[in-house]
Structure 1
Amino acid sequence: MSLEQELIERLQQLNPTHLAVVNESAGHGGYFPGKESHFKVSIVSEDFAGLRLVQRHQKVYAAAGDLLSAGKIHALAIHAYIPTEWTGQAPESPECAHAPKT
């Protein structure tokens, strides 16, 4: 199973009403086809109600668990919302300074 699919399955425990996991590895240095190292997560859940941003991120980290260890996911951008905050779109990711040059 791919890291992306494992991450999606683990984040289901947060009862998302919206979940998008994007593999952004191709935009980072050292990329090769099939590499899974950098991900962006947009997640909307009532489980985040009453939590500060850092607490929401901690819940996502806890759900991801050992996927965030060496040799697996190197970077995880998290956009965590409650349903009333969700506008239908997460912010764009910045360009990586070490991205392959085209």
Structure 2
Amino acid sequence: MRKQDIIVGLLTEALAPLHLSVENESHMHNVPPGSESHFKVQIVSAAFSGKRMVQQHQLVYVAMGDMMAEIHALALHTLAPDQWHGQAAGASPNCLGGSKAS
């Protein structure tokens, strides 16, 4: 099973999102083809209501459990239902190739 599908399942089960988008952005980074190491998640959940961003992110980390050890980068866009108006998460920045020798 793809990591992306596992992430969707874990977050859906733990946080009952009203909206969930999980994108594998590994192709935008200096990794081998077919890698599953960099993900962007936009999630809207009532579980985030009244919580600060860091608390929202902590809920995601707990939901992801051991899967977090298998991911190099996770860009999180977490929103409570009253904060979301159907907008998509913004585009991720280009990889600066931090692991490449210059």
1:16 match: secondary structure: coil
Q: What is the rounded CA distance, in whole Å, between the counterparts of 1:28 and 1:9 in structure 2?
A: 25
Number of aligned residue pairs: give it.
97
Q: What is the rounded CA distance, in whole Å, between the counterparts of 1:28 and 1:8 in structure 2?
A: 22
Q: What is the rounded CA distance, in whole Å, between the counterparts of 2:88 and 2:81 in structure 1?
A: 12
- The structure showing larger relative contact order (alpha-carbon pairs under 8 Å, at least 6 residues apart) is 1
1:92 match: secondary structure: coil
Root-mean-square deviation (CA), in Å? 1.5
Q: What is the rounded CA distance, in whole Å, between the counterparts of 1:28 and 1:34 in structure 2?
A: 11
Q: Corresponding residue for 2:15?
A: 14
| CA drift at 1:33 | 2.5
Q: Corresponding residue for 1:56?
A: 56
| CA drift at 1:32 | 2.4
The structure where helix makes up a greater share of residues is 2
4+ aligned runs moved over 3 Å, structure 1: none
1:68 paired to 2:68 = yes
Amino acid at match of 1:57: H
- After the TM superposition, which of the residue ranges 87-96 and 74-83 deviates more from structure 2? 87-96
Q: Corresponding residue for 2:44?
A: 44
| CA drift at 1:40 | 0.3
1:35 paired to 2:66 = no
If the length of structure 1 is used for normalisation, what is the TM-score? 0.89
Q: Structure 1, unaligned stretches of length 5 or more?
A: none
| CA drift at 1:19 | 0.1
Q: Corresponding residue for 2:78?
A: 80
Q: Corresponding residue for 1:98?
A: 97
